[in-house]
Structure 1
Amino acid sequence: MEPILTTPAALRRAAQTWPDGVAVVDDQWGDPPTVELTWSEFAEEVRTFAAALVASGIAAGDRVAIWSPNSHHWPVAALGTHYAGATLVPLNTRYTSTEAVEIIERSAARAVIVSGAFLGGDHLAELVESHADSLPGVVVGVTLDGSSAVPDIAIEWSEFLARATETTRDEADARADAVAPEDISDILFTSGTTGKSKGVLAEHQQTMSGSQAWGANGHLSSDDRYLMVNPYFHTFGYKAGILPCTLFGATMIPLAVYSPTEAMALAERRKATVFPGAPTIFQTILDDPARADHDLSSLRLIVTGAAIVPVVLIERLQSDLGVDTVVTAYGLTEASGFVSTCTPDDDDETVANTCGRAFAGMEIALSEEGEVLARGKMVMRGYLDDETATKETIDADGWLHTGDIGRIDERGNLTITDRLKDMYICGGFNVYPAEVEQTLARLDGVTESAVIGVPDERLGEVGRAFLTVRDGVTLDEASVIAYAKEHLANFKVPRSVVVVDAFPRNAAGKILKRQLS
């Protein structure tokens, strides 16, 4: 395949190459009925969304945020944003409304696509009730439950699409023509060790090079049906999901909320062939008593990563599920999610114990300290409004300093052995202790805090908070966790709390976290 370096070009090629192939099937809501779009229909829906953005005053280069779970709306909005020449800003669905508004404001988003009632929550209502004055001029409500009622400050999805006219469609086409490989495609925010999140600026050519390499490595094709449990706001769901499907013609099958029961039922119903996810996802499926009741024989490819993968898990995926190919990979947002990968030809030991070799278009090396360095087509342009952090992360020779410690064997396979930073991974999501510590510092009575990741059978790692408190103050675990839940996304909330008299420190006074457990 010739390199395709912008998403509008990929979308148009998909509509021309597989016009009658199924682009997306979304039947997870029950009522309204199943939404199924061919690639030609999907491309027209994207074009309509882009035209509605144009009609709403969104200019080329403006930023559009999406705060909504996996559904057919998300890829339409994402690619529609690009088609209109704008930049996508995905928001973590587990954010609190305060966290979401911070990103909306920092990115200067001029539009936000936001879900309404869903799983007992309502993002749109939360924003309107607490942050109405901070919202951009265009607020589009995605009513997943089938209703069409949205607050006056917003416009419902179908009504928004109705804003498109032939004139604005023509303008959208012209903007799609003008999108260049070096234009910014998206800004994904990832927390930093200081607790302040950083906005990663990725160009179309960086994003598309990674998606192309990922799809080619997995031998993705128009015969594939791709079960998407990885959240679209994450590189794993967006750049290793939506975009490879667009490049290779695979069918997108979104799932908004993971459970082994729902995932297996959807995989069986839609005869899914490709199923990426964190190791914990596959462990829950393998251990589910009802697994034998589901026919999962259609699965041919599983891709996992983000943690050490037991060899026995690889073997069980092949023997118990009958999956031919299981591969692991390593990436980070600053490289569009793509640094290294195993290939379908690798043996179980290599897949389980390494992150494979550099993706096509990338190279990896180690610094003198053993830090993993990455360089190549997928490395970001830099951080939003933070030139200092950009220079600290990408050196003069173009090497991206990942912050991870690793080793590279004689075959070029990378293994991650430690982290320079204190970050840990909870249920597949990166958690940066400094952010949690800053939140706990605001709790009355807390004098100092330190947060570490501790092993958890289900989530891989969870947070444990160690606190010192003022004399005479009593804080119990339940109240600390309740406070954290008010201010942080659930995956960041510590699961246990320990009050200590004093912290272990080094000669410079720094807390020795490795002595905490």
Structure 2
Amino acid sequence: MDLPFVVATLTRRGLLTPGRPIRVASQLNALRRWGWSLAGELRQAAARDPGRTAVIDEQGAELTYAELLDRSEALARALRAAYGLHAGERIGVLCRNHHGLIESIVAATLLGVDAVLVNTGLSAAQLATVADEQRLRVLVHDDEFAERLLGLPDELPRLDERAREELRVNALPGSLTPPERDGRIIVLTSGTTGAPKGARRPTPNGFGPLVAIIDRIPLHVRDRVLIAAPIFHTWGFAALQVCFALRATIVLHRRFDPAATLAALVTHRCDALFAVPVMVQRLMEVPAPDPKPRLKVVAVSGSALPGGLATAFMDTYGDVVYNLYGSTEVSWASIAGPAELRAAPTTAGRPPHGTRVAILDVVGEPVPRGQVGRIFVGNEMLFEGYTSGADRERHDGLVDTGDLGRMNSDGLLFVDGRADDMIVSGGENVFPSEVEHLLAQLPQIREAAVIGVPDAEYGQRLAAFLALHPGETLDPDAVREYVRHYLARFSVPRDVVFVKYLPRNATGKVLARELRRYYD
């Protein structure tokens, strides 16, 4: 990434504002010694703004950056003393969004230990599989998950909230030195189609990844940010990294509640919200508070943004929605800002600075503009492979996202859905997501999911699962006629199933395998 662009972006976002010389020197020294790991980012923030509030959560915690660093270092020393943890080993972190989760992740990176961010929605059986496959040395967990741990081996140490706090409080004094290797963050894939896989996240090697994001999403130094997206997910963790880099004040809730979130945005005078699309949808279902939040950024990612949702939200809260398309494996691919979402509500936007996106055919050759192909991405934060040793297909430094999409003549990216979601019905390629976006625009529909199911005559057919708003009714034939009016006949769902709600995982993605059980 070219230096003039980096300097210009950092200046615009307030990161090059002059400060007290001794603090600036300490900040730069922290980055020099500890690098760009989460531990290094926290150290630089504490060096530059020690008295700045770092985290506010529902447990009553309101910690400054200096306090957060002190607590994380104490926990790191205690973990090393109690369990003899060494660089390269792994601990699991099974926590919701609160200060203890952040302290546990930072403590691991201070020791060079890999932190496996465990999805809070995993079943007991999935958790046991993860603990075994990731070779966890310790599992840090919230109290509410105790029953799910019963199937874990007795020799795996578990630290609940009280045990973790006792360990930290009783830590012996001492100092920490940079580990021989950076502790990696291992994010588990969503597991919507099976067992989750561990994806090794690289450590940034400079300002590049931060600049790529904040150039397109106007976050500033010392903003106040509510992270509603779960931090165990790539998007929530990315928000944490950005907040540390910007020395932001982070507001956390253990669980997402739309009314409580809106209240917190007002109470804490938040400038920005990081969320997944279903959370934005839920915010639209409760009355807007008076006064409204003074948001300048609502950054969403993690799953497809239903057509019309962005514009409906912006009609109420202003032009503040920024939609980032990416994945655990490629981090980010493109970002759509308010103007782009107004013009094309289903677009994934444009690649940020320093990012390459290519639409390739089955043999890895580029397809013409407007034609659907496989989406490949290249940037500074491509994952390092799965912990199993497997990898995704790569071409010329680009990684396969597993999605199908197209680039229009204006350079806007559109995602048509997962490659394994596309069905062939009567010889025609059909993309369920196109039908989903269309159905989501019906005012009676609260949420929609469309999947392919077996069909004796056509091979496969579409089935639409619809959850309606309270008090609304809709006729299956009316749904089919609506789709037939806008799309080709092979896109009309043969099956229209009304459900109370769609099954989702902890990051808001619809669990297609649960819907397919209707046909088992």
TM-score greater than 0.5 by the shorter chain: yes
Cα 1:24–1:194 shift into 2, 3 Å: closer
Which consecutive residues of structure 2, in runs of 5 or more, have no partner in the other structure? 1-9, 11-27, 363-372, 423-431, 437-448, 453-459, 470-502
Q: Report the Cα distance in structure 1 between the residues aligned to 2:91 and 2:463, rounded to whole angstroms.
A: 34
For the pair 1:349 / 2:343, whether they are aligned, the reply is yes
Matches of 1:229 and 1:379 in 2, distance apart?
24
Q: Is 2:306–2:346's contact at 8 Å kept on the other side of the alignment?
A: yes
Who is 1:467 aligned against? none
Is the CA contact 1:221–1:249 (under 8 Å) kept in the aligned structure 2?
no
Q: 1:453 to 1:224 in 2, by over 3 A?
A: farther
Give 1:96 shift: 1.3
Displacement, 1:342? 2.2
Alignment match, 1:243: 241
Residue 495 of structure 1: how far off its partner (Å): 5.3
User: What is the correspondence of 1:127-206 to structure 2 with a 5 Å cutoff?
Assistant: 127=149, 130-133=150-153, 136-137=156-157, 139-142=158-161, 148=162, 156-167=163-174, 170=175, 173-174=176-177, 177-178=178-179, 183=182, 185-190=184-189, 195-205=194-204
Q: Which amino acid aligns with 1:161?
A: R
* TM-superposed deviation, 1:283: 2.5
Deviation at 1:320, TM superposition (A): 1.5
| Pair 452,314 (structure 1): closer, same or farther in 2 beyond 3 Å | same
Helix, strand or coil: the match of 1:233?
coil
Letter in 1 for 2:281: Q
Displacement of 1:246: 0.4
- Decide whether the 8 Å contact of 1:328 with 1:341 is kept in 2: yes
Q: Does 1:303 align with 2:299?
A: yes
Once the two structures are superposed, the pairs formed by residues 481-496 of structure 1 within 5 Å of their partners are 492=511, 494=514
Taking a change above 3 Å as real, the CA distance of residues 229 and 453 of structure 1, as seen in their structure-2 partners, is farther
Q: What are the Cα deviations for residues 436-486 of structure 1, in whole angstroms up to 9, with x where unaligned?
A: xxxxxxxxxxxxxx9998444589xxxxxxxxxxxxxxxxxxxxxxxx99x
Name the structure 2 match of 1:99: 126
Q: Is the 8 A contact 1:67 1:114 kept in 2?
A: yes
Aligned length: 414
Give the aligned partner of residue 480 of structure 2. Answer: none
Which residue does the alignment assign to 2:64? 38
Q: State the secondary structure of the residue aligned to 2:514.
A: coil
1:126 equivalenced with 2:122 (yes/no) = no
8 A contact 1:271–1:296 mirrored in 2: no
Q: Is the 8 A contact 1:366 1:372 kept in 2?
A: yes
Q: CA deviation at 1:355?
A: 1.1
Residue 201 of structure 1: how far off its partner (Å) = 1.3
Q: 1:344 to 1:233 in 2, by over 3 A?
A: same
Corresponding position: 1:328 with 2:323 = yes
How far off is 1:208 after superposition? 7.9
Question: Which residue of 2 is the match for residue 367 of structure 1?
Answer: 360
Contact kept in structure 2, 1:140 and 1:160, CA below 8 Å? no
Say whether the 8 Å CA contact 1:25–1:252 is kept in structure 2: yes
SS at match of 1:378: coil
Q: Summarize the Cα distance change of 1:208–1:257 in structure 2 as closer, same or farther, 3 Å threshold.
A: farther
CA change 1:398–1:86 in 2 (3 A) is same
Distance 1:207 1:329, change over 3 A: farther
How much is the aligned-residue C-alpha RMSD, in angstroms? Answer: 3.6
1:9 correspondence with 2:40: yes
Contact 1:112–1:136 (CA under 8 A) maintained in structure 2: yes
Aligned to 1:315: 311
- Is 2:53–2:249's contact at 8 Å kept on the other side of the alignment? yes
Residue 139 of structure 2: SS of its match in structure 1? strand
Question: 1: distance between equivalents of 2:63 and 2:135?
Answer: 32
Whichever residue aligns with residue 67 of structure 2, its letter is: E
Amino acid at match of 2:68: F
Please say if 1:261 is aligned against 2:259: yes
User: Which residue identity lines up with residue 123 of structure 1 in the other structure?
Assistant: F
**Cα deviation digits, residues 137-158 of structure 1 (max 9, x gap):** 3x2102xxxxx4xxxxxxx121
Change in 2 beyond 3 A, CA 1:252/1:261: same
Q: Which residue of 1 aligns with 2:229?
A: 230
CA distance in structure 2 between the aligned counterparts of 1:309 and 1:113, rounded to whole angstroms: 35
Q: Residues 456 and 81 (structure 1 numbering): CA distance in 2 closer, same or farther, change over 3 Å? A: farther
Q: What is the aligned partner in structure 1 of residue 382 from structure 2?
A: 379
Match of 2:110 among 72, 83, 86: 83
Aligned residue number for residue 276 of structure 2: 278
8 Å Cα contact 2:222-2:246 kept in structure 1: no
Partner of 2:457: none
Aligned mates of 1:499, 1:68 — CA distance in 2: 35
Secondary structure of the structure 2 residue equivalent to 1:374: strand
Q: CA deviation at 1:43?
A: 1.4
Residues 52 and 421 from structure 1, CA distance in 2 versus in 1: closer, same or farther, beyond 3 angstroms? same
* Greater alpha carbon shift after TM alignment, 8-17 vs 395-404: 395-404
Specify the code of the residue in structure 2 equivalent to 1:314. Answer: A
Shift in alpha-carbon separation, 1:159–1:193, aligned structure 2, 3 A: closer
